[in-house]
Amino acid sequence: MKKEREKAFLKNLIFFAVFLVGAVLSITFLVLREFENWVEYQISISIMVTIIFFMGFFFFSALHYVIRKDRSP
């Protein structure tokens, strides 16, 4: 059971790292790019927010495996 939890934790941690890099790159893109129109700006913000939400999901999923207590007798 413990091995299973470690595997799930590492999987979620890897996804968290990938989405963290994506969030940093999208914020950098948003700050450094000069947008031609409002639609490009809105699309970029939507993608950035989606990436950040996924990053938060995988962070808390990984955290769940760290603080979860083993309830088996």
pLDDT digits (tens, 9 = 90+) for 41-72: 888 889 888 988 988 888 888 887 777 665 55
pLDDT tens-digit readout, 8-37? 788 888 888 888 888 888 888 888 888 888
Q: What is residue 26's predicted lDDT score, i.e. its pLDDT?
A: 82
Alpha helices in 1-73 (DSSP H): 2-32, 38-67
Is pLDDT of 73 > 70?
Answer: no
| Angle formed by the axes of helices 38-67 and 2-32, nearest 10° | 160
Task: Give the model's confidence band at 1: pLDDT under 50 very low, under 70 low, under 90 confident, else very high.
Answer: low
What is residue 20's predicted lDDT score, i.e. its pLDDT? 87
